[in-house]
Structure 1
Amino acid sequence: MKNAIHTALAGLLVLCFAAAPAPAPAQATTALDGIAAVVDEDVILRSELDRAVQNIIAQYANQPGQLPPRDVLERQVLDRLVLMRLQLARASDTGIRISDAELGQAIESVASRNRMTQDQLRQRLAADGIGYEEFRSSLREEMLIERLRQRYIQSRVQVSETEVDQLLAQRAIGGPEVRLANIVVALPDGATPEQVATAQRKIEGIRDVVNRGELDFSAAAIRYSDAQNALDGGDIGWRGYDAIPPAFVGLIQGMKPGDISQPIRGPNGYQLIKLVETREAGQQTLTEYNAQGLMVRVTPTVPVEVARQKIQALRDRIVAGEDFATIARAESDDSISRASGGDMGWFAINAWGTAIGNQVQMLADGELSQPFQSEVGWHIVRRIASRTQDVTEKNRRNQAREIIGQRKAEEEFERFLRQLRSEAYVESRLEAPAAPAASS
């Protein structure tokens, strides 16, 4: 269950709520806690780093051989903590806030995704040794960082139809997909020849370690990669060839599942790419429905039972032969469909909400539903027709738009994070680990 919660929080619990120090008396903290890193005018305490590292160790309890030595793991985790601390500070400086209501909704979502009530989630956290207030604080911080990202890229990332057309003309969007993993040895901007040579030796040494079978690719990524996905074993996930930088497409197309590339020099350093597996994409279809709807809204002056009785009376009139559209124009509280006589147009199953979607899906064409309740009131719907649409081309354009937007967003935010890191004063109190030696 702990792993399920980790997944639901998309990496939040990986750091075991270490982005902010746990409350402790100031004198005790000074006496017992060391400093792992200085970040501008703030510090990351040794206890914060220890909690985060212990959480990673717990995650890999069944695969302890996947983890690097303690000092290497500490460096990986500390890098994440530093970046989180810098992002949280920037979010605060720019006035980004997460309200208690938003936080409550997020907690409910986490509980729902793990098929729990909030009380069960609280109990599970306690059983795993995680304080509920720590959980709330860390979730709020994760939301702050995501909102900072959204705000930063919102005004900087625009995708034109011309860009979509150009990408579709250049690449086969919607074709086969590949699952990739990578290991990155980063280089600073303006790297010196000596730094480049050192990075090249390190990436070659990592590849030799993997090829000799001393570590598998995932373990090597955890141990040596400088990328943000290092603690995920270097996993990049599924990508279409259209979502891969053009310089790498030919290389990956020539690989088989399990193959690992030669070291590749990119704008941010050297990397190894592993082709994990492949899959084919097929034709994409979507079932759409056409229906008429009528709603009686529940309000302080129209309680639930009164609304139910009214919708039942309206249904009785329709069954008796009165025109659905005429009644909808006169009686429906749905301001969107009322003027068109309740016509809801063609829509995907849950476009009007799950309550309506569930009813429409159960009806036959021409059939009128019984009264049913949603979160806003009581309804009846008549399903007119259904159709299956080939949405492959539409999805190709949407996918192309998302690919371009995601790539631009990643580039922009990565640039922002590098600038944030370069402008900050960061002093690590940890020793750097040694790189693997390349075989001669």
Structure 2
Amino acid sequence: MKRLLAILFSAALPFAGLAANLDRVVAVVNKDVIVASELQHEVQRILADLRQRGTAAPPMREFEGQVLEHLVARRLQLQLAELAGVNIGDDELNFALENIAARNKLSLAQMREAIVADGGDFEEFREEVRIEMRITQLRQKEVIARIGVSDAEVERFLAEGGATAASRYHLAHILIALPPNPTPEQQRSTLKKARQVREELLAGADFGQMAVTVSRGQQALEGGDLGWRNADELPPPFLDAVRDLPLQGVSALIPSSNGVHILKLLESDATGGRHVVEQTHVEHILIKTESGREEEALARIQSLRQRILAGENFHDLARSHSDDPASAVNGGDLGWVTTQQVVPAFGIAMRDLPLGQLSEPVASNFGYHLMRVLARRQHDDTENYRRAHARDTLRARKAEEMTQSWLQRLRDEAYVELHP
């Protein structure tokens, strides 16, 4: 989400409206079109982001081709999302925007002001977030939900020393892609191209610029930046390739079923193996909100707060009034939780609330809460973390390769005609 904010903040350039009847068509995507102004807007947006990253501008002709392929892939996914009924309602979108703001330590109003002050358009930002959410939900439905990780796989992964988080790597990535079911000649030509790219990198070519120009990886237009990855989150061939690389070193070629990969080690970090979390023992009362009746819910929660301050029993009121049935039967007691286990607005209020003090009404996507923090503790959650992390890591490994194959298949099965 932080990267999404940075990218969209950079989109402060003037945007010529998409008048398809007046604008040159640069691509036909099934029954849809992409026009030149749309391509140029995306080119300028990504160039602004690359400048923020300190990546040199790539050769414009190749770069525009990469951006056009990116727009084609995005359009295909949105078309499929429409067919599959994947939509994002305003309530869901508003909740996501509140989360983005909270993670950047801003209120939603402050985030709107920051976007406008940076020259952006908040409504355009809002719709970009909606599009990204639709694509994410589509991938969840079409790819991620079909990935299974068995208990046996987790046990084997742990037995082999996985999920220790002993090292972290900040990597950049280039994929010289193979087509589906490649012929021997296509395999040879892909390998030859990968060798040429690596030789240019070793001779001093800018890795980010090269990724933008030639890579078919999902982060190509971000200069190939994969961000920080724990050692156990990397596919074994990737880990073998970077484990002994010097900083800023370029890996050997890494063949796979999708093509040939090249990695660059940007940074590395050694970390410990223990996982200690802060847990909070908290109790709450929830009054749910309904559309058009928000003021009524706020009035109810404020009335309950005054009754508690006047001496009425919190637990009794929670049992009789709270709209959270799971905790209401326990007098509102949620037990020991971490901020990651609750929605962001609740977590922020819980984190900042002094022990024993009754909170002001706290708004979340569920409604209004009253809460009291009973205790805090440091809890060694290493074993649970290792197992959850192992499962997530195995799922992420499968997801990366399956998503790349899914996108390639989506492209191959579509009618796409390019007019760059």
**TM-score, scaled relative to structure 1:** 0.78
Q: CA deviation at 1:62?
A: 6.5
Deviations 1:93-118 (A, max 9, x none): 11222223333444454555563654
Q: Percent identity?
A: 33
Please give the alpha-carbon distance, in whole angstroms, between the structure 2 residues aligned to 1:17 and 1:157.
40
Deviations 1:266-312 (A, max 9, x none): 21112212122211222221232445x46485994964553233112
1:184 equivalenced with 2:180 (yes/no): no
369, 376, 399: which one aligns with 2:357: 369
8 Å CA contact retained: 1:107, 1:118:
no
1:312 counterpart residue number = 309
CA 341–21 in structure 1, closer or farther in 2 if over 3 Å, else same: same
8 Å CA contact retained: 2:177, 2:259:
yes
Amino acid at match of 2:131: E
3-state secondary structure, aligned to 2:189: helix
CA 121–41 in structure 1, closer or farther in 2 if over 3 Å, else same: same
Amino acid at match of 2:234: I
8 Å CA contact retained: 1:16, 1:52:
no
Please give the alpha-carbon distance, in whole angstroms, between the structure 2 residues aligned to 1:235 and 1:389.
34
3-state secondary structure, aligned to 2:252: coil
Deviations 1:331-380 (A, max 9, x none): 67464445445554333357563376246x632xxxx4356433356746
Q: How does 1:28-427 map to 2 (within 5 A)?
A: 29=22, 33-61=23-51, 66-110=56-100, 115=106, 117-118=108-109, 121=112, 124-125=115-116, 128=119, 133-153=123-143, 155-173=145-163, 174-213=165-204, 215-282=205-272, 283-290=274-281, 293=283, 295=285, 300=296, 303=300, 306-314=303-311, 333=322, 335-340=325-330, 343-348=333-338, 351=341, 353-354=346-347, 357-358=350-351, 362-363=354-355, 368-370=356-358, 372-375=360-363, 379=370, 381=372, 383=374, 385-427=375-417
| C-alpha RMSD of matched pairs (Å) | 3.6
Please give the alpha-carbon distance, in whole angstroms, between the structure 2 residues aligned to 1:42 and 1:211.
42
Amino acid at match of 1:357: M
Q: CA deviation at 1:396?
A: 0.9
**TM-score, scaled relative to structure 2:** 0.82
1:7 counterpart residue number = 3
8 Å CA contact retained: 2:361, 2:369:
yes
Amino acid at match of 2:362: S
Please give the alpha-carbon distance, in whole angstroms, between the structure 2 residues aligned to 1:336 and 1:251.
49
CA 362–329 in structure 1, closer or farther in 2 if over 3 Å, else same: closer
CA 340–92 in structure 1, closer or farther in 2 if over 3 Å, else same: closer
8 Å CA contact retained: 2:279, 2:336:
yes
3-state secondary structure, aligned to 1:262: coil
Please give the alpha-carbon distance, in whole angstroms, between the structure 1 residues aligned to 2:38 and 2:373.
58
Greater Rg, structure 1 or structure 2?
1
Q: CA deviation at 1:188?
A: 1.1
